[in-house]
Amino acid sequence: MALANELSAILSTVFVKGYEMAHLEHDPTLEPDGLTLADLAHVAPLGARVNAAGHMEVAGVDLVDLATAQGTALYVMDEAHIRAQLNAYQAALAECWPESAVAYAGKAFTCKAICRLLTEEGGWLDASSGGELAIALAAGFAAEQVIFHGNNKTEQELIEAIEAGIGRIVLDCFEEIERVQRLAADRGVVQKVLLRIKPGVVADTHSHIITGAEDSKFGFGISDGWAERATEQVLEAANLELMGLHCHIGSQIFAIDVYQQAVGALFRLLGQLKQRFDYLPRELNLGGGVGSAYRVEHNPPSISDFVKTLTDAVKIHCEQLGLAPSELKLIVEPGRSIVANAGITLYTVGAIKQLEGIRTFVAVDGGMTDNIRTALYDARYECVIANRVGEPRDAIVTVAGKHCESGDVVMIDASIQTPQVGDTLVIMTTGAYNQSMSSNYNKQPRPAVVWLADGVAREVVRRETYADLLATDVG
């Protein structure tokens, strides 16, 4: 019932936004921005360029040729970009706080290939469901380097996690403390855990992705005494080992000073826990990373500035608490900022409708099933025509999907090279929360995911087929 209510709420949001989009007046003063791919470098994959044919190329692969070979819609990711972002977090942390770990937030995008990449690069994994954990284990990922999240993990998910030897379970409610203690005792193990704390700070981001405020479904509050009570309960549990605290204040955050507020709130709590229980943590998990540039005007802070802001704040509070930095492991859980700009989506233009005095609709062979973020979050992207990407963007269009909803719009009033039927259209910055939030609405098979590296395209998630749709329909 809860899932049905959640889906109903999401669809209601989509339908309402769809009505608003369908009745949104075109701004007649809006002019094309004249930008080319060179002007969009900070929202594009690292390996993006214009090749000799005038086509967009990523990691040595011509995207027009790729669209012809693989079909569209198609998710495409620059593997070197993913590695570079992960390595940037690891290097910045190693410089500022040697005892540290980067746990990639799998909810942004999970598949076996990225789990294997994490193994190769020494990364940890933040999993938020039994499915994400199953994929990681199938890829051979080390269970002890998995941090398991969720505000209502099922008993079966917890059993699977404990029996796999999961590294950390993040406890989110009092019922879960009792549940994990019982399941661990039944199996004769001591399970390492973290307590998820709501620091009571509100990040400057979309309301749907704020997670650290007092009015949040996640974690234990500080001001209401829940965090202190939960700590006491875990410390008294014979089969739970409290490694430390966890907090996550939200996603797509540009104003990184809010992390200083979160750290301050956590250490004020730690002062209370030290005084009452003589407890000091061995780990502090500070959640997600920096925001990502989706639009040309976006200017997120650098990874190094983010890490320095975080670690400087922790150092100050450690000194005040009498906790040696060498005794504390810091963990961060970036997801979006590792994969968002590494990914793009390819579509083929199927129809163009010019509504005089209103707008020009460009219809593509995908939409809300492969990118729900526009309808759900009012997300905005940058787009180009891959086969004319070196030319300036000289038209304003609305990119519409193929699905039977007015809200099925990928981009509204976007600058782009003048499109023609058959063009390969590229939407930038779709590596995070696009494939992972995709659906089979209208019984649309999900697109494939292709990784590009050194001139080679490698399919890491195959395209769904009608046979896949029928496989679970037992009639």
Q: Which of 173, 247, 318, 404 is catalytic?
A: 404
Question: Dihedral of CA 463/466/467/469: which sign?
Answer: positive
Q: Which residues pair with 330 in a beta bridge?
A: 100, 284
Structure tokens that stand for 447 in this block:
């697109």
What interhelical angle do 155-164 and 130-138 show, nearest 10?
30
Which of 257, 315, 250 is CA-nearest to residue 284?
315
Active-site annotation holds for 404:
yes
Structure tokens that stand for 468 in this block:
């896949």
**150: amino acid identity, one letter:** G
- Give the span between the Cα atoms of 339 and 292, in whole angstroms: 9
- Give the span between the Cα atoms of 256 and 462, in whole angstroms: 38
Instruction: Centre a 10 Å sphere on the Cβ of residue 362 and count the other Cβ atoms it contains.
Output: 28
CA dihedral angle for residue 162, residue 163, residue 164, residue 168, rounded to 10 degrees: 10
- Give the span between the Cα atoms of 262 and 212, in whole angstroms: 8
List Cβ<8 Å contacts ≥24 apart for 258-264.
258/201, 258/203, 258/204, 259/286, 259/306, 259/309, 259/310, 259/313, 260/309, 260/313, 261/199, 261/201, 262/199, 262/201, 262/212, 262/286, 263/310, 263/313, 263/314, 263/317, 264/313, 264/317
- List, by residue number, the catalytic residues: 404
